[in-house]
Amino acid sequence: MNRRRFHLERIILEILNSRDVDFDQSKKLEKLRLGNDGEQNVRGIIAQFEEIDAIHDILFEVDGSYFQIDHLIISGNHLIIFDAKYYSTDVYIKNGEWYLDDLQIKNPLTSLNNTVNQHLKKLLYYHGMQLKIYGYIIWCNENAYIYGLEKKLPIIQLNRLEECLQKLSRHRVSMYTAADIFELRSRYNPFLKHYPEKLDTLKKGLNCPKCFSLLGERSRKKYICRSCGESYHLADIVFKNLQYYCLVKGDNAFDNIKFHKFIGEVINKRTLEKYFTKWKQQNSIIYIKKLKYRLNDSYF
């Protein structure tokens, strides 16, 4: 499975969890939330280095195989990928095998090696890009220990990541940019599960992009989240929920009336039509036919 699937899967499950009392995925959500927190910590540390060219959470495809990269950095003629891992408890390594609570688990270094030496190397070769590729596991839970860890293994503790990035930031400028690599991404995710059949039965409202709870009080053209305190301009939060709607639906095409039912009476149909007119002018959505539109870009 790939990380981008996990990221989008979490958004879908958060939306359903907040709107459907019978949809119980609490254990799965908790696992996804912990993993996402680890990735955000890594992303935050990388962001401190403005001179480092990086992209995050990107899906590629080569020869029919899809693979995900959490964090990708270009430094000189090197391409470095970081795979963020968050385990809730200690892990034991014995004879190359990984164990968690006495149960054997998949060795993340095997997946990392496949990404580096099979998929990514082949992808760059196909596009004539000559970069040396290095891959590392970022160990995100500082309270979990790795027993049997050998120094030669490409695993970096989160508290040492900043030191490693300082060394990378001193490398010369590369002939390629992160934007060049980004253009190679796959725009299709074959693994993600959508729930179009649930849209008509879900609780109405607008989800907060920060905590995913349904927003509460409205002050003029702003909405305030009762759970986390974040506030949003009405037009912005409606568009974000349009993206959520299409993500749950699994289709960029949408119907004006059905989307209005999804968000409920938070705004009237006339205001929503004004937003659609504005978004068409901004090329954020594309008009298909009467009451039918398509998102120009989305999460999937």
Number of structural domains found in the chain: 2
Residue that is last in its domain, among 184, 217, 240 = 184
Answer yes or no: do 112 and 207 share one domain: no
240 pLDDT higher than 50 = yes
Q: What is the CATH number of the domain that holds 277?
A: 1.10.10
Q: What is the pLDDT of residue 248?
A: 94
Residue 189 lies in a domain: no
Residue 190 lies in a domain: no
Residues 207-230: what's their mean pLDDT?
A: 84
Answer yes or no: do 28 and 160 share one domain: yes
**pTM score of the predicted model:** 0.67
Answer yes or no: do 37 and 115 share one domain: yes
Residue 215 sits at φ, ψ, to 5 deg, of -70, 150
Q: What is the pLDDT of residue 4?
A: 45
Q: What percent of the chain has pLDDT over 90?
A: 55
29 pLDDT higher than 70 = yes
7 pLDDT higher than 80 = no
DSSP state for residue 291 in the 8-state scheme: T
Answer yes or no: do 212 and 179 share one domain: no
Answer yes or no: do 268 and 220 share one domain: yes
Answer yes or no: do 150 and 215 share one domain: no
Answer yes or no: do 177 and 204 share one domain: no
Residue that is last in its domain, among 142, 157, 184 = 184
Residue 105 lies in a domain: yes
Answer yes or no: do 179 and 215 share one domain: no
Q: Domain of 178?
A: 5-184
What the block records as the tokens of 267 is 């705004």
Q: What is the pLDDT of residues 149-162, one digit of tens each?
A: 998 999 999 999 99
First-residue to last-residue Cα distance in the chain: 16
Residue 225 lies in a domain: yes
Answer yes or no: do 38 and 170 share one domain: yes
6 pLDDT higher than 60 = no
Q: Which amino acid is at 162?
A: E
Residue 143 lies in a domain: yes
Q: What is the pLDDT of residue 2?
A: 39
Q: What is the pLDDT of residue 21?
A: 67
Residue 191 lies in a domain: no
Residue 82's contacts (CB-CB under 8 Å, 6 or more residues apart) are 42, 70, 71, 72, 73, 135, 136, 137, 138, 156, 161
Residues 135-162: what's their mean pLDDT?
A: 93
Question: How many whole angstroms from its chain centre is CA 10?
Answer: 9
Under the banding of pLDDT at 50, 70 and 90, the label for residue 1 is very low
Q: Could you tell me which residue, 239 or 192, shows the higher pLDDT?
A: 239
89 pLDDT higher than 70 = yes
DSSP state for residue 16 in the 8-state scheme: H
Cα 191–196–200 angle (5° rounding)? Answer: 155
Answer yes or no: do 167 and 230 share one domain: no
Q: What is the pLDDT of residue 35?
A: 64
Residue 44 lies in a domain: yes
The Cα–Cα gap between 42 and 15 comes to 25
Residue 58 lies in a domain: yes
129 pLDDT higher than 90 = yes
Which of 3-17, 97-111, 175-189 shows the lowest per-residue confidence on average (mean pLDDT)? 3-17
112 pLDDT higher than 50 = yes
Answer yes or no: do 77 and 135 share one domain: yes
Q: What is the pLDDT of residue 193?
A: 85
Residue that is last in its domain, among 184, 217, 234 = 184
DSSP three-state, residue 173:
coil
Answer yes or no: do 109 and 210 share one domain: no
5 pLDDT higher than 60 = no
